[in-house]
Structure 1
Amino acid sequence: VKLGERVTIMAGSKIGEGVIIGDDSFIGYNVIVDDGSVIGKRVKIQHGAVIGKEGFGFYRGQKGYIRIPHLGSVIIEDDVEIGANSVVDRATLGATIIKKGTKIDSLVLVGHNVKIGEDTAIAGQSGIAGSSEVGDRCMIGGQVGIADHLKIGDNTIIFAKTGVIGDIPSNSVVSGTPARPHREWLRAQAILLKLPKIIRQLGIKDVADDSKE
């Protein structure tokens, strides 16, 4: 283990073998930083977070699921903040990377081999599945789900509760499930609110019963 100057580690935390923590970083209560993780300068990891645990990777054999070994690491660059009880999985091979200046709220899951760019903000209860990449200066709202192996471009805004199942180009603003341009989602919601009136105007008494049509 290599600790920089003025590093604070609160009670109950575990620092694994080969971990590097840069100057002026703060590790809260009951944090786990697993073997081989690299943490930069001025990083703040809040209470209960887990950095570098084995990722969620299995293949299905004849006798059930078999775990895929995760031999990689986690790299957290300078000036990153990780919220309470958030989890950053280590990579299968290579590294899960969170680049400098990024801020992650509480209860966020960052899957194995994910790469998050600089100065991105991710609100609570969001999850990023394995091997997805998030660009620089993105804003991701609460309870957003991002599927695996996707690319989210720079300067993207993703509204809360959005489900992302495809790549998103840079400078996009998206919402809804599945994610779509935010203005398109707003129009769809406006039409949805008018459906009861439209149904009455058409004289449809029971839209749930196809036999009456």
Structure 2
Amino acid sequence: MTKAIRKLTAATLLSTLKACGYRVFEGELNLNIIGIRHQNTRANTFNDVICVLYQQGGEWQLKQYKATTDAGIYWRQNPMNVSGTAVLIAGQHKSLWKLGYHQGKYRALVQHKPVVVLRDNDKNTELDTDVTPQAVLQQGYFGINCHRANSKTTSTQVDKWSAGCQVLANPSDFNELIALCDQSAAKYGPYFSYTLLDQADIKKPKESK
């Protein structure tokens, strides 16, 4: 069995972002929204995490939420797109999202800029996430949003909740995320970057001598 993504610290995420060469957004309530994809991509569970890293009162704060960065099995076997299921590639996606409405139903983070996705079209239960020379990549607007699953209870199975979106399992966690985005937007505007990491990317901070 593969290990779950452990409880992270602000120092660990800062170290990881810097090691990967990604920008760290600094300043009061300037949000770093970070997804971490579990190495087990067969699971139809919320085994990934979405973190919000930000400064408040000069101190780094970290929220960690149970989530999925992968499409559920239903959409892996029944892709919406003829080219295959959308898999958001790992990397830092600048100004990917803006505050809006998911499917016009409730407030969420919705796609604002074109993004690169990998298309998995073998219709099996395992999601292909590696960008290989044979991988089919597409850039465009595919509705890669950040939203919640069930509005009342914590979801355990992804199923139809994600066809490529980044989805939080717990509605209270999601409401907290949107509240943070509202506070941040009042200072920096309604656009948010998203950094998607693989579990193997996580770097422990170096101990000071």
Question: What range describes the TM-score normalised by the shorter chain of this pair?
Answer: under 0.3
Give the structure-1-normalised TM-score: 0.22
TM-score (normalizing by structure 2): 0.22
- Higher Rg of the two aligned structures: 1
- Higher helix content, 1 or 2: 2
Name the structure, 1 or 2, with higher relative contact order (CA <8 Å, separation 6+). 2
